[in-house]
Amino acid sequence: MDLLKIINERFGALVCLTITTFDDELCSKIERNVIPTSQRFACLEKFAEAGIPTGIWMGPILPFINDDEANILAIVRRCVEIGIRYIVVFDFGTTKRRGSEEYFYSCLDEYFPGLKEKYIQPTEMNIFV
């Protein structure tokens, strides 16, 4: 924190963290082995209180998982509450590179049974296939 304060005073600094969902339980499913969203927001709040500009990278946004209005509004409201200065939405959907697709589908089967079919079958609602 002290180093970032110095950098911010002399040159300007930004602290950004990825936020995928407002819900810690859902976060543990789509971002395994990372700190939960609530701890990320607590971290960002400390930087904002120290006068260091903060932002979030919101993504990936996954259809049928974290793309609902309630989730996105909860993230935005929390950002406003703690003084986040910007939100970058950088990724909708998933990649279908070799190996990634199989891993993603296995995770869908494990954490969201029955959802894989929505990603496999192209529909008007599923523009990410």
Where residue 129 falls among pLDDT bands split at 50, 70, 90? very low
Where residue 120 falls among pLDDT bands split at 50, 70, 90? confident
Residue of 45, 37, 44, 95 lying closest to 66 (CA atoms): 37
Quote the pTM value.
Answer: 0.84
Mean pLDDT of 22-40: 94
SS3 assignment, position 37: helix
Higher pLDDT, 124 or 45: 45
Torsion of CA 102, 108, 111, 114, to 10 degrees: -130
pLDDT of residue 41: 98
pLDDT of residue 93: 65
Distance CA(67)–CA(46), nearest Å, equals 27
Mean pLDDT value across the chain = 89
Task: Say what angle helices 37-49 and 69-82 make with each other, to 10 degrees.
Answer: 30
pLDDT of residue 125: 54
